[in-house]
Chain A
């Protein structure tokens, strides 16, 4: 089965704690993305990666970090510096970023993070 998996589905974080959200894809996509979704708002880009060992900040990167050591994996760490991390986190991937169909993004099932 080809697709994007995210884990865990639900995550609870205590104040001052770092947590890492997992995202794995077996679609052989080059590009991967992390978005945050808050109620009543559109998706906001946190980080994206077009190729292994390279990633770029999105609009709201402060308090987050990523790595891209393998093509299949793009984990997101929510650090204690992120003051309002409660949200729905979505990972997506696309074939690449050049050409029309290449920028169609497909989403994983999401991780819902709650700060206690």
Chain B
């Protein structure tokens, strides 16, 4: 069974801090990696995609991928209370998308 593991949290950071969210996956040949944000009671929203080793930055978000370690992370700089949500990691290979259970992030004013 292909697994995607995330720390369920909750992760609590003060406003303005960096939030670091982590994800590991078991399928070594996974090709594409995604981070979704899901507010309580709402559907997931795609916020980052990453396909190659290294960092990818988009505004306050940075995704980091290390395929050798089977590890993908999401950094949120200057965290805001509006970033409080559950963040889902998703891993794709060959028509198969696997989701982690999510990490709940709380940003305290």
B44, B46, B51, most chain A CB atoms within 10 A:
B44
**Is A63 engaged at the interface, CB distance under 8 Å to the other chain?**
no
Q: A26-64: contact bitstring with B at CB < 8 Å (1 yes, 0 no)?
A: 000000010100001111010010100000000000000
Name 23 interchain pairs, CB-CB below 8 A, sorted by A.
Answer: A35-B99, A40-B101, A41-B101, A42-B4, A42-B99, A42-B100, A42-B102, A43-B44, A48-B95, A50-B95, A100-B49, A100-B51, A101-B49, A103-B32, A103-B92, A104-B49, A106-B46, A107-B36, A107-B43, A107-B44, A109-B42, A110-B42, A110-B43
Residues on A facing B (Cβ under 8 Å): 33, 35, 40-43, 45, 48, 50, 90, 97, 100-101, 103-110
Which chain B residues (63-92) contact chain A, with CB distance < 8 Å? 88, 90, 92
Query: Cβ of B45 and Cβ of A42 under 8 Å apart?
Result: no
Q: Is the interface of B mostly helix, strand, loop or mixed?
A: strand
Complex CA distance for A92 and B70, rounded to whole angstroms: 26
Once A100-B32, A100-B51, A103-B92 are accepted as A-B contacts, the answer to whether A43 and B99 lie under 8 Å apart by CB is: yes
Complex CA distance for A45 and B90, rounded to whole angstroms: 12
Chain B residue with Cβ nearest A107 = B43
Residues on B facing A (Cβ under 8 Å): 4, 8, 31-32, 34, 36, 42-46, 49, 51, 88, 90, 92, 95, 97-102
Complex CA distance for A84 and B15, rounded to whole angstroms: 40
Q: Which residues of B contact A35 (CB under 8 A)?
A: 99
Q: Which residues of A contact B102 (CB under 8 A)?
A: 42
Q: Which residues of A contact B101 (CB under 8 A)?
A: 40-42
Chain B residue with Cβ nearest A33 = B97
Q: Which residues of A contact B100 (CB under 8 A)?
A: 42
Query: Cβ of A104 and Cβ of B88 under 8 Å apart?
Result: no
Query: Cβ of B44 and Cβ of A90 under 8 Å apart?
Result: yes
